[in-house]
A and B are shown apart, each in its own frame.
Chain A
Amino acid sequence: MKCVNSSSKMQMFIKSELSQCKCSPTTEPFRMQVNACKLFFHVQPAPLCILDCTFFTRKEILRLHGRYHEMAPNVVPMDYTKDPDVKLPMQLIINMPELKENPFKERIVESFSEDGEGSLSFNDFVDMFSVLSEMAPRELKAIYAFKIYDFNTDNFICKSDLEKTLNKLTREELTAEEITLVCEKVIEEADMDGDGKLGFADFENMISKAPDFLSTFHIRI
């Protein structure tokens, strides 16, 4: 899913596509021709429209834009044709009703923000809800779940990450011994390569067998 990884070329492409998505059908054939050329001449396959980048329908993207706009009506423009560079800070996003009660809301927003600090552009915003929707495939969700639970962003879920996860889940009501016990148990269960921490392969191996993963790692907007 190249578009979710969002290279800068892709970013520009997505923004231009989004603006063109609202325009009349007469421009579409020309755009498709341009896209066909890009498809043929570029090594990296390009999505042909933002609608191909996410799992949302056109109507849903427009509705998401409405939600994004209403969080900061003074800052977010309604018209995206001029390719604005607008990002909303984390504080606004984590106050959304869908995220408000989630103990991992900060981590979620950080994982999808391009600058890593939690400000989301509209593309990041759409990416986030797209991955968390029920239409996203299991593998994609696993990638982002790993990112979310990796608190220190070192591409491993180490013991300190596990402790932080557990504290967020139980609102720090467990004693230190209980926390240590649970974290050791988790590493014992899931660590396959014996390095004392969970790499992405370990995590994915464990999560692919989890029966509840798809239904709980799901936000509806």
Chain B
Amino acid sequence: MMVIFLICVPFQKWMKFQRDFENFKTACIPWEMKIKEIESHFGSSVASYFIFLRWMYGINMILFGLTFGLVMVPEALMGKPYGSLPRKTVPRAEEASAMNFATLWDFSGFAQYSVLFYGYYNNQRTIGWLKFRMPLSYFLVGVGTIGYSFMIVIRTMARNANEDGGGDDTSFNFSWKMFTSWDYLIGNPETADNKFASITTSFKLEEEKIVKYNMSIWEASLYNGTIPENSTAPPIQVDPADVPRGPCWETMVGQEFVRLTVSDTMTTYITILIGDFLRAVFVRFFNYCWCWDLEYGFPSYSEFDISGNVLGLIFNQGMIWMGSFYAPCLPAINVFRLHTSMYLQCWAVMCCNVPQERVFKASRSNNFYMAMLLFILFLSTLPAVYTIVSIPPSFDCGPFSGKTRMFEVISETLEHDFPSWFGKQAEENKRRNKQKAQKSNEQEEYPFETEPPQPKQKGGKQDESTANQDNKKGQAGNEAKKTGQPQEASSSQALQHPGPAPNGRYPPQSRGGNLPPPSIAVTRPPGPRGYGVPGYPPGNPRFPGAQPGMPRGPPTYR
């Protein structure tokens, strides 16, 4: 008896705890009552849009948490303050208008030179007393947001598919129509009338009630016509505001995405206000003094366009995924946008819309929307992945400046933060590269002389990263030399890649010879032009020498 008591009581306490926890979890679900009200008025398909919106909001909160907590906050707290570096300062020429509302609305001026965008971040390996690895964190958060999004979309699809049970069966059409067509959630008489009518019609026509989704045309409202701005050509002085900088294409891209999101949001809200609300007001109040019945003829009250809204939501999320690597502020903006969307659309649907005449089935559409979302996710992450892997980052802005590729931050981390035998190899290679650099400086006039390839050390990548850093810094000091450098670059590359011929080119990796770090301010990206030019968006014209009219002055900031 006592034994039973001793066993059963803790078990009961555990059950009670589980129950209380479930209570708490249910109470935490946001907007539940709102959605229930909409569901009883409009049926489960319109409510499914709002449930989808809420689910998106949850995802964006996580993305926001990652970007805000691991990228924006550390840089704001521990990074160098505004004004200490050129990349963190508004250029002198723009200073006058930097605080204007119009400039800030466009995300230029002070908004551009802040933690909101890629360009502000410094490429220092560790910042603050915590030795926080900023570039590594930026990279991992970027990859992590994509990975998390994939995981959650696929998991939701799998869950939906499980519940649906794979309904392609047509053997019970009439039975299902008879026993499952009435939506027990309907509490509104008008909706009920519509439902009765639609059931009757479908039985009369002996058709199945299959959902046909309209792929509405939404591109036109979502693209704006802004032209990317340039932020170069300041005069020379020591103040960071006056340091000439190269263009920072990542920030430009980020700004475009932010502007796109903002204008999309504005367009959606204005469409709701004019297309739904003003129309409803017009129909309601002018019906008394109009020739024909406005409520039944043209224009009548609008119906809630489920498919259009869902596709808009998916497209918006695609923009967020594409742009959040270049503008960490994008998930935050999207969280705000979804939050206000929820309230605005809940109000608008209850106030201005009428239930649809044709009643959709919501069940099978869930996985269709998820499939679209997965597809858009895949498409959106392609550009970011491409830039990480093959485009060199801007040379004087962002957390990856100074590297040949963004992913080199991983190899750098492996080299510096991992056991000593990694580091020893890296140091040896660094020393050898320095020697090579000095030698090749003296040998400029023999551009085609090749070095005997040195034995490849362990782990080519981490050597390459440090070697490339030296290369990069070195070539900046030798802008005048052109032709020798490609060969020197490839010969230095032979250190890490002993297989190919010494003058075998690796255009994406070659940044020039092994040259000492620059001691002067540069007005354009250094070194010979290979396939991808650091600092210029790919495809831009290449300038073989110093740009005219851009004198170099002494820097003191580096």
Contacts and interface: CB of A to CB of B under 8 A. Distances in A.
Q: Do A and B come from one complex?
A: yes
B362 to A, nearest CB: 7
B549 interface: no
Interface string A204-215: 001111111111
Contact of B179 (A32, A101, A149, A178): A149
Interface stretch (B180-188, B282-290, B340-348): B180-188
A33 B9 contact: yes
B417 interface: no
Contact of A186 (B22, B175, B364): B175
A101 B195 CA distance: 10
A216 B180 contact: yes
A51 B12 CA distance: 12
B184 A212 contact: no
A149 B179 CA distance: 8
Interface in B2-39: 4-5, 8-9, 12, 15, 19, 22-23, 26-27, 36, 39
Contacts of B164: 211
B178 interface: yes
B218 interface: no
A207 B204 contact: no
A210 B176 contact: yes
A13 interface: no
**What is the predominant secondary structure among interface residues of chain B facing chain A?**
helix
A220 B175 contact: no
B1 A100 contact: no
Chain B interface extent, by class = 35 or more
Contacts of A186: 174-175, 178
A219 B185 contact: yes
Nearest to B32: A220
A107 B282 CA distance: 44
B181 A36 contact: no
A201 to B, nearest CB: 14
Contacts of B15: 48, 52
A59 B363 CA distance: 29
Contacts of B186: 101-102
B544 to A, nearest CB: 66
B363 to A, nearest CB: 5
Given A36-B5, A216-B184, A211 B175 contact: no
Interface stretch (B72-80, B165-173, B319-327): B165-173
B175 A170 contact: no
Given A52-B15, A145-B179, A220-B39, 13 more contacts: A32-B12, A36-B4, A36-B12, A48-B15, A100-B187, A100-B189, A166-B203, A169-B196, A190-B175, A214-B163, A216-B183, A217-B180, A219-B185
B180 A104 contact: no
Contacts of B22: 57
Contacts of B180: 207, 210, 212-213, 216-217
A12 B178 CA distance: 38
Interface string A159-200: 000100110011101100010001001100110000000000
A101 B164 CA distance: 27
Interface in A58-100: 58-59, 97-98, 100
A59 B182 contact: no
A213 B186 CA distance: 15
6 contacts: A57-B22, A102-B184, A166-B203, A212-B181, A216-B183, A217-B180
B491 interface: no
**What is the predominant secondary structure among interface residues of chain A facing chain B?**
helix
B176 A169 contact: no
Name the residue in A39, A178, A216 with the highest tally of chain B Cβ atoms < 10 Å from its Cβ.
A216
B8 A36 contact: yes
A55 to B, nearest CB: 10
A37 interface: yes
B185 A218 contact: yes
Given A57-B26, A186-B174, A215-B363, A209 B167 contact: yes
A46 interface: no
Contacts of A208: 165
A47 to B, nearest CB: 11
A126 B486 CA distance: 81
B521 interface: no
A58 B200 CA distance: 41
Contacts of A116: none
B253 interface: no
B38 to A, nearest CB: 11
Contacts of B185: 216, 218-220
Nearest to A146: B179
A48 B13 CA distance: 12
Contacts of B200: 169-171, 173-174
B60 to A, nearest CB: 25
Name the residue in A58, A101, A162 with the highest tally of chain B Cβ atoms < 10 Å from its Cβ.
A101
Nearest to B361: A212
